[in-house]
Structure 1
Amino acid sequence: MTEHKSPQDVIAAARRTLDIAWQGWTDYLDAGERRYAGLITAITLSRSVTNVLQNLKHLVEGFDPWWEAARTVLYNETASWFVELRNVIEKQGTIAGMSASVRFDKIPLEEVRRMRRVAPEGARALFLVDELGRNGWDVELPDCSSVRVYYRADDPLLHQTLRFDSAPNGRPIGELFPTYFGWLRDLVDEAERRFLRTDE
């Protein structure tokens, strides 16, 4: 296991962790086959940011009082929920209690037509919104087995929502995660200002 040698190393590692978490969120938003993996990555690595920052403890003076004050931004129901969700993922290897929904401002006939035009060979059924809010086709393979091929529907009139039964106030993950991520990003920014500032 490699230990961080300097505060710069810790901040760089925290930023890398944030970047990977955000890439996971981007994969989730892309709504393709990586959606579930992206969601798991976003949740687990965003939570790891605070663990990475705590490596500053033995490298800088004044970490403990700073940390006690700075982390109060995470003393709320949403941040606690993400910690619990990460713990469930790590201990059970899955997330339960999710549901996806879709709302159409009008029936997206043009999107459906476009999906039919670009359907892969062997497509036997088109679906909009599976359990993770993805769209695509059920495709029959030559050996008569079937696979799902995902497609990102870009119709601005189609609004997909993923919710967790346990989410604070029943809010969708699409509202909760960006807020939580912003708090973590601000925490890293604050640590950088506090411990890497240079005298002019």
Structure 2
Amino acid sequence: MKIIKAINENHYSVFLQKCHHSDLSIDYLKKNTTYLLIHKDEICGGYVFGNTYPYRYTQHLTDQYDQQKMMHFTAYNNVTEITCLWIDKSYKKSLLNKFLWASIGYHGYFGKAEYYLFGTKSKKLTKFFKFPMAVNKFMVSEAKDKKLQNPFRFYIADRKKTFLGAIEIILGVLKTSDTEVEINV
């Protein structure tokens, strides 16, 4: 198992085929840093560190005040968006899932951004983000959309704490062996 940066058309095409986000394009993946989880020479997961402004998550905010706060914060600070996280269903309860989270923490901690924007519509993942994590959350917003069963929840967190936050999520996933944390980021 390893994490690599996408570098060719095949990488981007496979990411688009397997990722559940229908609004993605190869152009978006190329403009940003796309990471791939490789296991047995197959792409089985991935995520994007996005620097394309405006960010994908800000488009989901329905509250005008929250949208203005988010746009203001991201416009005047060094922010990277962690988005489009996915893993093949057969690996959701495996070591590969934990490895993917650790990779996000590693790349986040050693990245160039001061802050990271991330979000989820998963109730279980939101539960992990709400407990007293090492991550300093500077902003938390929620977007309610009638089309969505679960609302999106958005966070902006300090880069210096991303690795500890990823470790806490991994430990939380390990503790809840009977439940599955969906990756819908």
- TM-score using structure 2 length: 0.25
Bigger fraction of residues in strand: 2
Kindly name which structure, 1 or 2, has the bigger radius of gyration based on alpha carbons: 1
- TM-score using structure 1 length: 0.24
